Structure 1
Amino acid sequence: MASYSIETRTLTNGDLRFKTTIIVKKDSKIVHRESKTFKKKALAKTFGIKRVNELEEGGLIKNKSVPLGELIDMFMNDNDLWRNTGRTKRYVIQMLRDCDLAKVDSNKLKSSDLIQHCKNRKAAGAKPVTIYHDVAYLRSVMKLAKPVFDITANYPVFEEAVPILIDMKLVGKSQKRTRRPTTNELERLREELETRQSYRPNGQIRIPYIDILDFSILTCMRIGEVCKITWDDLNKKHKTILVRDRKDPRKKEGNHMIVPLLGESYDIAIRQPKQSDRIFPYNPKSVTAGFQRVRNKLGIEDLRYHDLRREGASQLFEKGYSIEEVAQVTGHRNLNILWQVYTQLFPHRLHDKKLSVL
């Protein structure tokens, strides 16, 4: 319920001022307070009546705070927000909608609520890195509550909760992967992929798995990038390719980068049939699925398609390319990430250095 009161004050010169204070209560507690001062009492009264009506007819009282489930619904129903939300984040947000946490009022979320949610997720078998996504994505939704939906949400609670969740080992970040396919594994993969790409039941499109596999390693591209590059992006004179909107955690779009096509990667691209505006006009999910089926059939464990990107960077280092040169191929803005790959590859080579005791 909203109400207003007018306080009269006398200035030192004898003039009067009229201060209108608006108060909104919910469950007998003040949830909002605002005030404004006027030179005339009539203006103060008019303001008070108008503001109370605005708040009661669908403003602050209606939208001050809502259950988190409703806030999540608002986020999902906003086309501008949902359209620009990644697949993993969408999945997590939809999952949160059905958790007990969704019943908590957006402005009353406590650290204990987050801790209990994380405990429940752990008991259900979720790993700390997975649970971390729950917390991070819920925070991002709540941070938009006020500016986008005029909903008050206690998102600052995460500043208190996250360090505690880390100390309790309920959340954590993923471990850096170091998996590389062995020479034998790559040979077996190519042999089996050749069989798979020659088999086309019911007239299915032939996917050149081996060319895509080798191109992915040589260019260090993600499979989504490989299947998106076009003939117009190819510079035959300089043997380079323009990779558009390359993944960058700090920038979603516009990360275009010219990448050199080293080794046989240029020849692989050139020999593809021009049946589309794209060089590799295939669904990246289909390519990945075919790779996974072959990998599983061969019994190769813990190898992901994305590991081929690391394999490509590793091969470049082994051929003597500098970190800066490798970054031109991989697209890494942060050289520290490449440095980690480099140091994982070559610590044994320190034995080749000659040391002497003075």
Structure 2
Amino acid sequence: MATIRKLRGRWQAQVRRRGMKPRCKSFDGKVEAEKWARELEAQVDRFGAAPDTRILESTTLSELLERYKTEVSPTKRGSVQEIQRIDVLKRHDIAYRTMVGLSPQDISSFRDERLRTVAPSTTVRELAILSHVIEVAIRDWGMPLSRNVVKLVRRPVIKNERKRRLQGDEEQRLLDACAGGKIPFFKTLIIVAIETGMRRGEILGLQWCDISHNRRVITLKMTKSGSGREVPLSQRAFDALTEWKARAAVDQLYVFPMNAGSLEQVWRRLLIRASITGLRFHDLRHEGVSRLFERGLNVIEVSSISGHKELRMLKRYTHLSADDLVDRLG
């Protein structure tokens, strides 16, 4: 057991174990001394010896974040977004905490602070980065940490499920409004989104060589889930793509040459022309997946098209029309 005593106005923690040199450290408060002793004892139990924790006293979370940004983030598909989030994390007070003093309470305070200004989903992503940084530091960088403090903290609950689908003549109004815009392929883009249920990034990354006109299938080499998949095209989607290809430039590599930011701007202007409110571009994926179910496809068939790996996630995107289901029930 550790010995905690007050000595000359400070609290001293001393840990003695057979086969190791006694370790002691002084703190301003008794709680900090007890915490240090508990963690050191846990490390002795885990590693069989007391690790040299001096590196934890001189290493800040900010330094680990910077190393992670340099060595790990560039290897990921979403590296740009992750690096941006790391830069945000480094501006917060928690980044200046040394690793020896980083506690679950620090993480909880950071979580609560972020929830006052950003959405729960953003906070969850930031906590996930912090957790993985510490995991990498323990496993790959040899940091003598006894535990990942982020895993001890409750994550915010994300409640962003949407049930928004196209209503009445909204689909036709969207397509008609495309004629008033300056993007010649936007009508085709909307049709493909509705008919396939593909994600925005998958649609914008689509190249002409990914489309098999003989099979009427799109081959996605890499998706959000980390694997590729094939997406069958309805006759409507295939005809729209064929018509657009006849008008597109011969040397055009991408089917829809625009980035995500431009798409959002065009989408907002399109909604104004179509007099539609409360509709996001991602809702077209909801619409597309729901229509696949309404056409009679089963869960396995729909998941193979949409790319969902979990039924729980698939259910979030699926909002069936009760009127259509009545007809199917007989």
TM-score range, shorter chain: 0.7 to 0.9
Which among 226, 235, 242 is matched to residue 263 of structure 1? Answer: 235
Tell me the equivalent position of 2:13. Answer: none
Tell me the equivalent position of 2:15. Answer: none
Are positions 1:301 and 2:277 aligned together? Answer: yes
Provide the C-alpha distance between the structure 2 equivalents of 1:322 and 1:161, rounded to a whole number of angstroms.
38
Tell me the equivalent position of 2:134. Answer: 142
Tell me the equivalent position of 1:11. Answer: none
- Which protein, 1 or 2, shows the higher relative CO under an 8 Å CA cutoff with sep ≥ 6? 2
User: What amino acid is the match of 1:150?
Assistant: G
Cα distance, 1:126–1:258 mapped onto 2, change above 3 Å: closer
User: What amino acid is the match of 1:93?
Assistant: I
**Contact 1:22 1:35 (8 Å CA) reproduced:** no
- Displacement of 1:188 in angstroms is 2.7
Give the secondary structure class of the aligned counterpart of 1:264. Answer: helix
User: What amino acid is the match of 1:294?
Assistant: L
Cα deviation 1:15-61 (Å, max 9, x = unaligned): xxxx996788776989788899xxxxxxxxxxxxxxxxxx9xxx974
Provide the C-alpha distance between the structure 2 equivalents of 1:24 and 1:262, rounded to a whole number of angstroms.
70
Provide the C-alpha distance between the structure 2 equivalents of 1:224 and 1:343, rounded to a whole number of angstroms.
22
Q: How does 1:1-358 map to 2 (within 5 A)?
A: 61-62=54-55, 66-78=59-71, 80-84=72-76, 85-123=78-116, 125-153=117-145, 155-162=147-154, 171-197=156-182, 206-248=183-225, 252=226, 255-271=227-243, 272=245, 273=248, 274-296=250-272, 298=274, 300-342=276-318, 344-346=320-322, 349=325
Cα deviation 1:138-180 (Å, max 9, x = unaligned): 1111111133333344653233322xxx5xxxx2123322111
Say what the alpha-carbon RMSD is for the aligned residues.
3.4
Cα deviation 1:201-256 (Å, max 9, x = unaligned): xxxxx4411111111111211222122223322222221111111221xxx3xx12
User: What amino acid is the match of 1:179?
Assistant: R
Cα distance, 1:152–1:97 mapped onto 2, change above 3 Å: farther
Provide the C-alpha distance between the structure 2 equivalents of 1:320 and 1:281, rounded to a whole number of angstroms.
34
Tell me the equivalent position of 1:8. Answer: none
**Contact 2:211 2:217 (8 Å CA) reproduced:** yes
User: What amino acid is the match of 1:107?
Assistant: V
Larger radius of gyration: 1
- Displacement of 1:344 in angstroms is 4.7
Give the secondary structure class of the aligned counterpart of 2:230. Answer: strand
User: What amino acid is the match of 1:259?
Assistant: V
User: What amino acid is the match of 1:268?
Assistant: A
Unaligned runs of 5+ in 1: 1-18, 37-54, 198-205
Equivalent pairs, count: 293
Unaligned runs of 5+ in 2: 1-17, 28-35
- Displacement of 1:319 in angstroms is 2.6
**Contact 1:217 1:309 (8 Å CA) reproduced:** yes
**Contact 2:286 2:318 (8 Å CA) reproduced:** no
Cα distance, 1:189–1:276 mapped onto 2, change above 3 Å: same
**Contact 1:216 1:226 (8 Å CA) reproduced:** yes
> Identity of paired residues, percent?
22
- Displacement of 1:287 in angstroms is 2.4
**Contact 2:104 2:149 (8 Å CA) reproduced:** yes
Cα distance, 1:65–1:348 mapped onto 2, change above 3 Å: farther
User: What amino acid is the match of 2:308?
Assistant: H
